[in-house]
Amino acid sequence: MKNIKIIIIVMGLLSVSQGLRAQQQVMFTQYMFNQLAINPAYAGIHNGISTSFLARHQWAGFDGAPRTQTFSIHSPVKYRPIALGAVVIHDEIGLTDQFGAYFSTAYRISFSNRTKLSFGLQASFNQYKVDYSENVYNDPNLASQNISDISPNAGAGLMWHSDKFYLGFSVPQLINYSLNSVGENSTDPDAKLIRHYFVSAGYVFELSRDLKLKPNLLFKWVQGAPFEIDINANFLIKELIWLGISYRSLDSFDALFQIQVTPQFQLGYSYDFLTTTDLSRVNSGSHEIMINYVFNVKRDKIVTPRYF
């Protein structure tokens, strides 16, 4: 147990000294079913008020492992080419605790080929806390390195999409920001929030009347961290059940399952069953659940399934 606590302390120290790069933007396996957390241009993509709840428990069985909960809501504005959205995120890892609120707006241009181009803007507020008060070394000097800061930020994104494909680019955190420490050292030059870049894409192929294939790609880059890519393939069976598998570079292999309970209600679960790093020795995988519900504010029929 003592060794585990030491590892957690080290994880917390590394997250500060390297600018919290690894967990500044939360990671989801089922990102392809709700991308508002990474791209504000996704707002209003469904015909109705779309709500999603997602909870992720990463590296189950490892004390201090990341736990993330997020709730999002977004909708087009009636009779106008704009959409509004909001995301609330709570993220914990080791000694760090993050709470974020993101507010998005998107302007959508419709084309004659039934595609749309969305331009998204985002304003956000994040509260970061790192508490070294309780540590295995009982070193009071660590307490002076505590971090407690609220940082405003802004983001932007583009998304070109139709019912069968999407292509997006986003920078959800445009402003680099130095976090403040509590105590004598008001600012730690190594504790910074760094700009992130995302590119996402997906397409639905009809293999037969009852079977469709939707591959998805997500590219992630942040200065000072390795380039990452998520490669995913989801199969849709009888317009009802999604079965998928993913590979996340430098991290894991994942399995996904979603079911369209009703035209408005979707449930999803994913399991990161094979960790490709040394953490595989001390955890039993990562679990993620997702609940999606679209409130129909018009008399139009809700399109099902919702591919994206």
The single residue listed with the structure tokens 């595609």 is 115
Task: Identify which of 33, 49, 116 has the alpha carbon closest to the alpha carbon of residue 86.
Answer: 49
The single residue listed with the structure tokens 């369209």 is 260
pLDDT of residue 148: 76
Quickly count: other Cβ atoms within 10 Å of residue 59's Cβ: 23
pLDDT of residue 11: 45
Rounded-to-integer distance, Cα 23 and Cα 27, Å? 8
Instruction: Classify domain 25-174+262-295 at the CATH class level.
Output: mainly beta
* 238 Rama sector, left if φ>0, alpha if ψ -120 to 50, beta otherwise: left
pLDDT of residue 10: 43
Domain residue extents for the chain? 25-174+262-295
- Note the pTM of the prediction, 2 decimals: 0.83
The single residue listed with the structure tokens 């009703």 is 262
Please state, in angstroms and as integers, the Cα–Cα distance from residue 118 to each residue in 68, 79, 92, 113, following that order.
28, 16, 32, 15
Rounded-to-integer distance, Cα 234 and Cα 22, Å? 26
pLDDT of residue 15: 40
Low-confidence ranges of the chain (pLDDT < 50): 1-23, 183-185, 187, 189
pLDDT of residue 179: 62
| Radius of gyration of the chain from its Cα atoms, rounded to whole angstroms | 20
The residues with which 237 forms a beta bridge, in sequence order, are 211, 241
Q: Is 141 helix (H, G, I), strand (E, B) or coil?
A: helix
Copy the structure tokens of residue 160.
Answer: 């070109």
| Residue ranges with strand state E in 111-224 | 116-130, 147-161, 165-171, 177-180, 187-193, 196-203, 205-208, 211-222
